[in-house]
Structure 1
Amino acid sequence: MSTVKSLAVLDESQLQDGQMKEVDFEDGGKVLLSRLGDNIHATSAFCTHYGAPLAKGVLTADGRVVCPWHGACFNVCTGDIEDAPAPSALHSFKTHVADGKIHVTANVQNTKKANLARQPKLLATGNDSSGLGVVIIGGGAGAFQAVESLREHGYSAPITILSKETYTPIDRTKLSKALITDPVKVELRNAADLKIKYGTNLRLGVEVTGVDLKNNLVIIDGGKDTLPYQKLVIATGGTPRRLPIENGGLENVYTFRGISDSQKVDAAAQEGKRVVVIGSSFISMELVTAISKRKLASIDVIGMEEVPFERVLGKEIGAALQKYHESQGIRFHMKSAIDKIVASEANPNVASGVAVNGRTLPADFVIMGVGVAPATEFLKGSGIDIERDGGIKVDQYLRVKSGPDTQNVFAIGDVAIYPQHSGDATRIEHWNVAGNHGRAVGSTISGKEQPFVKIPVFWSAQGQQLRYCGIGHGYDRVIVKGNPDELKFVAYYVKNDRVVAVASMQSDPVVSKASELLRLDLMPTPAEIEGGTDLLTVDIATSAALGKVQS
């Protein structure tokens, strides 16, 4: 039986305008108090993604609270999700002030950390497999967030997910960071919840081979089946690239994307084994971090740049991260071109090494982490224009811009070339971007058109948690505060005398604050940053800042 109580939790004088505080409720329960002008709001205290304390995040005057870890965002007035990767909304509680005390009225059970999330507003119980309604091609984060957003925004028609994966949408970021091999451990929602609570028809292990835009049909398994749609969301993600080099397709040369890839690498990365990793950016280096504790005989990394991560993070940060990994026994071969993968004399179907710079690095297995290509081959002949990189151009609402009757067709995630609010068209292969694309499309299809304006955010385990926000492609210079060699810094990426991206280690919640400042076009200038301005001191939370936040 639920127990509703109203308890005094804090002196009103202890919560100032623009402040958040985590307070005890009862029996170990926690509540987050947020003050916006004269209004005090109470919600669950922890992010529904991985349980970060929201009180350590960033509050804005229009009621957004951004998680300090991974950029998830909620509305403190309602508990609703604002941004992925939050999979669930927060509980929202009534508050009032009496005798100088802030009182919270809540079901005591809902304040427990184990019960911090609430169900979607629309608990759909129907499961119509006709396909009419929304059909989503793809089973990743974008697909899940689209479903969640559709139901949160009141969409009541059927939703169907068509996925070639054999499991429900998962937190794919955990695969390279922790080599998870069981999809159940990282699923965003299980099949029963998606079917019953979200009214979603799941069709797993099927391949979409075409789209008939004129007749609003999805073609499945080469024409063995078709599915009609009213709205179509293309969320097929990317396919790992393989370098066109000799023996690149041998049995123990692995790319990395899904659960089966994680299972292969996990099985191969055993004590005493040798691995060569091709590529020195995030997917490769996250795998290096994950397997470096396993007492392998050797881990060699081959990269084309001068230091790892150079294109994204710059030489100074890249050199510091390389130094850290070298301290863990990793050997780097930078500014290198691969001659070929060497086949074993005993078994020509498997690799025994990688030839680079006139020598052969021995390997029991090879990981090729050299990026992905948009999974759009199935759209050839549909009338949708596929760009040279494999992407699809969309408008600010993520509607496909080419082809017959594409007013009802959307593309999200790795396949979408979309206009950032800065005006530049871009395609970004971030798990978080895909999720937020899904959320925006869910709102638009439900009747509230939502242009995509979220600033890209990602994170990576590299000895410490690296956090990054913005679009730093082609930056002119980097302003570094702190000591990268100690993996404790904030780096500001400058282009045309504007800060366009920020990265940090051990400096939370600077990147969360930076993502909001970039979104609001309130980021301090490079000169102000060099002059000592601290992003955390820039006011976007008090009632005095409401005008510039809303504008």
Structure 2
Amino acid sequence: MLLALHRRLIRPAAYPVSSLFSFNHHLSLRRMSNTKTIAVLDESELQDGQMKEVAFEDGKVLLSKLGDKIHATSAFCTHYGAPLAKGVLTADGRVVCPWHGACFSVCTGDIEDAPAPTALHSFKAHVADGKIHVTANAANTTKANMSRQPKLLASGTESSGRGVVIIGGGSGTFHAVESLREHGYSAPITVLSKETHTPIDRTKLSKALIVDPAKIEWRNAADLKIKYGTNLRLGVEVTGVDLKQKFVTIDGRDTLPYDKLIIAPGGTPRRLPIEGANLDNVFTFRGIFDSQKVDNAAKEGKRAVVIGSSFISMELVAAMSKRKLASIDVIGMEEVPFQNILGKEIGAALQKYHESQGVKFHMQSKIDKIVAAENSTLANGVVVNGETLPADFVIMGVGVAPATEFLKGSGLEIEKDGGIKVNEYLRVKSGPDTQNVYAIGDVAIYPQHTGGEVRIEHWNVAGNHGRAVGSTISGKEQPFVKVPVFWSAQGQQLRYCGVGHQYDRIIVKGSPEDLKFIAYYVKNDKIVAVASMQNDPVVSKASELLRLGLMPTPQEVEAGKDLLTIDIATSAALAKVE
């Protein structure tokens, strides 16, 4: 509302500059009048390396103590509102959300890691008469007003130069735009996206079947254009890239030159090469239009067949289980769902949960074909091992391929899986004309700092890729060293961090059957990934321990070592975390 009012105020015919000054001066006075200093806690109740959530009138403030310095910020994560006091603090001033890996500086409130879309408020704190006092605008301590826009060192007012062109409209793109402006990049930024909406929180689509992009957009178009100085070209397709001449081709006709190019097109859902795969009610799942199709089909009394038993498929199953469908059948190649990633024991427990919700599984099964009634373009069954499962609609959740088809003929070397190899700065490796070309997100094969090249299709990875590239292009080269984090809704919230594919063994603590456990994935006698349910903030702590190289050995964990007892927050731990 203030932005709209501000726009109206700057129209010279209606309001002179003096009116705008008066308005801004009035706002400043109002903010000052709402600012108060309140004693919130005895100094003795907050020790080095501790965080505490304290009341501030009707709101909350997070206090963090690092050495002898006390910091005060907003109390809730700006991603989904998790209480940060239940997260993880490190001695170098990072606070990690207990839920999804978002990270902030407790010293400034600034974003450190995705998926946080906005920063925390930072408040003044001091000690007097044995009490910790916080000075804050009370309105900024409420959960309804828990975040602030990041501080932008540039707004894109410089019009000279070709600037940065970003291909794609997802998490990597959003965070790259934000990071570029945060780090002072002032030249033009152009976003070219197939999608007809601004970047959205895509993770909510499979978990809740959201159908309105406006409900989950990170920034609206006006903000991206005005505050971030971004030229948004939505609903367009990049059909080619000329690396030598440094331009991209749009819709086979128009060309757009670049100084720097960020390739962030995401992935394209795969379809099995079987009869009936392209019938009208056989859906893949990726974007808002897919969510709209499934939402429209998944009505009470309908019969669903889901092909695939990994995360997107099973999140959709969890969402549809609440809709009183007549039947939900899941077809998978593994012995149990999630087996390759989470292991057989945990996969079996999650299968048992879904079965308790009425879902029927057909595992280790071969799909023969999808069939339709005579003279119909609609599937009415899926033939599995010779048996026909009745279906009113079919969801094919069998993975995605990097969306790099448009790069054929560009001179870029595309790997067999469709990915693009990049270095530690996410700069494309191949070819003499790629020194100003970056690839991020689903398409990037990058050197994971804990060892080996990986291509990871995670929301957080794409977002943090974007943040790193934005910093590098702005002049502060930042190698990518973040630990992958993802989450999934499977009856309870599943958290996971690290890179655990092709693990040697799993150490399981707790009860997978009760969906309350911690799983440690071991490879070459090192813990390389951790998953949990109902054990927050274990995965957040594990992600920091992996980042810092402080993860205990498998033998220590088997002997009872608790990750939450490992000190990475006090002054004594500072040398280990810097």
Q: TM-score, normalised by structure 1?
A: 0.98
CA distance in 1, matches of 2:401, 2:157: 34
Counterpart in 2 of 1:331?
360
- Cα-to-partner distance string for 1:381-426 (whole Å, 9 max, x where unaligned): 1111000000000000000001232111100000000000023000
Alignment of 1:121-200 (within 5 A): 121-122=151-152, 126=156, 132-200=162-230
Counterpart in 2 of 1:93?
123
Q: CA deviation at 1:4?
A: 2.2
Once structures 1 and 2 are overlaid, which stretch shifts more, 123-132 or 150-159? 123-132
Amino acid at match of 1:469: C
How much identity, in percent, do the aligned residues show?
83
Out of 260, 264, 267, which is 1:238 matched to? Answer: 267
- Cα-to-partner distance string for 1:329-348 (whole Å, 9 max, x where unaligned): 00000001111111222x43
Amino acid at match of 2:422: V
**Contact persistence 1:68–1:509 (CA under 8 A):** yes
SS class of match (1:378): helix
- Cα-to-partner distance string for 1:359-400 (whole Å, 9 max, x where unaligned): 111101100000000000111111110000000000000000
SS class of match (2:435): helix
CA distance in 2, matches of 1:128, 1:236: 26
**Contact persistence 2:153–2:183 (CA under 8 A):** no
SS class of match (2:78): coil
Counterpart in 2 of 1:25?
56
Matched, 1:316 2:342: no
Q: CA deviation at 1:126?
A: 5.0
CA distance in 2, matches of 1:531, 1:236: 45
CA distance in 2, matches of 1:112, 1:93: 13
Out of 76, 87, 91, which is 1:46 matched to? Answer: 76
Q: CA deviation at 1:350?
A: 1.4
Counterpart in 2 of 1:525?
553
Alignment of 1:424-439 (within 5 A): 424-439=452-467
Distance 1:18 1:318, change over 3 A: same
Amino acid at match of 1:414: D
Aligned pair count? 547
CA distance in 1, matches of 2:148, 2:181: 13
**Contact persistence 1:123–1:197 (CA under 8 A):** no
Alignment of 1:140-539 (within 5 A): 140-222=170-252, 224-345=253-374, 347-539=375-567
CA distance in 2, matches of 1:173, 1:249: 25
Q: CA deviation at 1:201?
A: 1.0
CA distance in 2, matches of 1:129, 1:196: 14
**Contact persistence 1:283–1:369 (CA under 8 A):** yes
CA distance in 2, matches of 1:107, 1:154: 28
CA RMSD of aligned residues (A): 1.2
Q: CA deviation at 1:476?
A: 0.8
Q: CA deviation at 1:130?
A: 8.1
Amino acid at match of 1:246: E
CA distance in 2, matches of 1:387, 1:130: 36
Amino acid at match of 2:324: K
- Cα-to-partner distance string for 1:67-126 (whole Å, 9 max, x where unaligned): 001100001111111100000111111111111111112223322222221222127555
CA distance in 1, matches of 2:525, 2:257: 50
- Cα-to-partner distance string for 1:215-243 (whole Å, 9 max, x where unaligned): 11111111x21111111100000000000
**Contact persistence 2:468–2:480 (CA under 8 A):** yes
SS class of match (2:323): coil
Q: CA deviation at 1:131?
A: 7.7
CA distance in 2, matches of 1:217, 1:193: 26
Q: CA deviation at 1:129?
A: 8.0
Distance 1:242 1:127, change over 3 A: farther
Amino acid at match of 1:261: D
Amino acid at match of 2:323: R
**Contact persistence 1:130–1:228 (CA under 8 A):** no
CA distance in 2, matches of 1:156, 1:129: 8
CA distance in 1, matches of 2:497, 2:71: 28
Distance 1:127 1:261, change over 3 A: farther
Q: CA deviation at 1:515?
A: 0.4
CA distance in 2, matches of 1:46, 1:122: 22
Structure 1: any 5+ residue segments left out of the alignment? Answer: none
Counterpart in 1 of 2:147?
117
Distance 1:427 1:131, change over 3 A: farther
- Cα-to-partner distance string for 1:154-209 (whole Å, 9 max, x where unaligned): 21221111101000000000000000000001101111111111111111001001
CA distance in 2, matches of 1:127, 1:335: 57
**Contact persistence 2:158–2:186 (CA under 8 A):** no
Amino acid at match of 1:35: K
4+ aligned runs moved over 3 Å, structure 1 = 123-131
Matched, 1:15 2:15: no
CA distance in 1, matches of 2:71, 2:401: 45
**Contact persistence 2:318–2:491 (CA under 8 A):** yes
**Contact persistence 1:399–1:410 (CA under 8 A):** yes
SS class of match (2:322): coil
**Contact persistence 1:131–1:159 (CA under 8 A):** no
Amino acid at match of 1:118: R
Q: CA deviation at 1:358?
A: 1.5
CA distance in 2, matches of 1:488, 1:328: 18
CA distance in 1, matches of 2:543, 2:167: 29
**Contact persistence 1:129–1:201 (CA under 8 A):** no
CA distance in 1, matches of 2:507, 2:520: 5
SS class of match (1:247): coil
Matched, 1:76 2:106: yes
**Contact persistence 2:184–2:474 (CA under 8 A):** yes
CA distance in 1, matches of 2:496, 2:156: 40
